[in-house]
Amino acid sequence: MPTKSRAAILVEPNSPLVVDEVTFPDPGPGQVLVKLFASGICHSQLHQIHRTPETAHSGTHAQYPTLLGHEATGVVAATGPDVEHVREGDHVITTWVDRALEEGAPPRARTEAQWNGMSVNVGGATWTEHTLISERMVVPMSKDVATDVTSIIGCAVLTGSGVIMNTLDVGIADSVAVFGAGGVGLCALAAAQVAGAYPIIAVDLSDEKLEFAQRFGATHTVNASDGDPVEAIRILTDGGVEFAIDAIGAPSTQEQILHAARPGVVGLRKGGTACLVGAVQTQGRIDVEELRISQRTYTGTRGSASRPDRDFPIYLRWFQEGKLDLNGMVTKRYTLDQINDAVDDLTAGRITGRSIIVYD
């Protein structure tokens, strides 16, 4: 039978979220209904909330009303036909990346709920007590693992740690600079430490966030408000880093990572790699002639080449071994009724680390 659930609904852009009851249909083929334990509050959701004509190019075409959120933990409440890798009662992590996507896989079916006689776009949303989601976006987890802080594995860890382990394949003694010490940036720093990178440089505008970043692997910090961060990185590394990562996506950081990567030498070695990870709302300008002459590589990633079936067990093991301090990374918790406070706090830069919603 259909499931009623309280959810945070974005009725239209640039408006407060409405917390109200929605109704999910029974799971269809390849779908699971998940009762959520906790959900991460990702900065990328702010782009969807604060949408303007200038930023509407980013991502897919928006449909309203809609539910938000895309990283969570929960327990499987029901399964539809053809679901074999999880069963009712299993603890799971939900994510926005196919758990093991195969070439030629059919597109996932669009999921909708009902609210006040209207269809509401779901899309695997997690700012809701339940979610109806494709089984391809659900990864099982052991019942002996904490279910609150692990909710951020589905995006923050997947993206930040994934760019180190998968996209860039960072290794021992590789130098790394991460621009942005938010949730994704902190996960990148932590994974760089696990990989044996050195030095690991955190770049941000806040001394508080930079001090916090040292708890997660940063060996050096650069406050970009105190001067040119590129020059500071060049001084620290005698010319630039092997890997420069933009976990913000601002025009300035899009450009800075190119120059923070070390230049190559003709006939001797190629230059370093700049990687854009943060969601872009306003596009910067990349000097392609500088890119050519310096022999650097500029790349980007969405999802960090992750395969959740393969990667999530690794991140859970890091968490259990103390290599990925999710307890320390999650610094603020909210109830669903406090969702607009949570959005305001994140928008105003009052969150250090990552914030989450915790459900009963």
**Phi, psi (5° rounding) for residue 230?**
-65, -45
Torsion sign (Cα): 63, 67, 71, 77: negative
State how far the Cα of 197 lies from the Cα of 201, in Å rounded to an integer: 10
Residues 329-344 pLDDT 10s: 999 999 999 999 999 9
**Stretches in the chain below the pLDDT threshold 70:** 52-62
3-state helix, strand, coil in the chain (%, to 5): 30, 25, 45
Q: Which pLDDT score is estimated for 207?
A: 96
For the chain, list the domains and their CATH numbers.
Answer: 3-147+325-358 (3.90.180.10), 157-300 (3.40.50.720)
pLDDT score recorded for residue 53: 46
Predicted TM-score (pTM) above 0.85: yes
Question: Which residue from 144, 6, 191, 159 is spatially nearest to 70, judged by alpha carbons?
Answer: 159
What's at 194, amino acid-wise?
Answer: V
The answer to whether the beta carbons of residues 178 and 200 sit under 8 Å apart is: yes
What is the spatial distance between Cα 207 and Cα 214, in angstroms, rounded to a whole number? 11
Three-state DSSP state, 82: coil
Residue 62's pLDDT is 62
CB 91 within 8 A of CB 32: no
What is the per-residue pLDDT for 52?
57
